[in-house]
Structure 1
Amino acid sequence: MDIRGLFGANVRRLRRAAGLSQEALAERMGVDRAYISWIETGRQNATLLSLWHASQALDVRPAALLDESHVVATEAALASGKP
């Protein structure tokens, strides 16, 4: 998985854990909802400023958005057929 996919997967995971819609996260970040969608699907090459705004909006450390351990565990669970 490339860095865009990793960042996007973590944004999605943390957004859902926070109980936020894409629209709500976009509002907190001051961006359009489509931008959140592009980030989450790995189609947007986010800037460091976007990483910072996402971390502030999700109330996590910026490093949490680049953490590979959760994504690797999720991919392993999906590969084994356990969601």
Structure 2
Amino acid sequence: GWLRKISSGLTFIFLLCIAWALPSILPVFNLPTPSGNYSIGSQYIHLKTNLDEIMTLETGDKRELMIKAWYPANLEHEKPEPY
């Protein structure tokens, strides 16, 4: 009854304190600021194949893959990609 509720509550508070303290003990890295002569362009590519998809239960389902490619570009009339 009440002993179980108290112990589970204390366990929850203890785990919450650990989750709060870990980011300050093990800091997350910062990405460097992009530098260079070129802007970065990106393109989404949707590939569809003739291979059967084995991970779904639907018959006749074909494999598809979504790819995002980055490349050096001269961007004049496009919005910059969020970093």
TM-score (normalised: structure 1) = 0.22
Specify which structure has the higher proportion of helix. Answer: 1
Kindly indicate whether structure 1 or structure 2 has the higher relative contact order, using CA contacts under 8 Å at least 6 residues apart.
1
| Structure index of larger Rg | 2
Specify which structure has the higher proportion of strand. Answer: 2
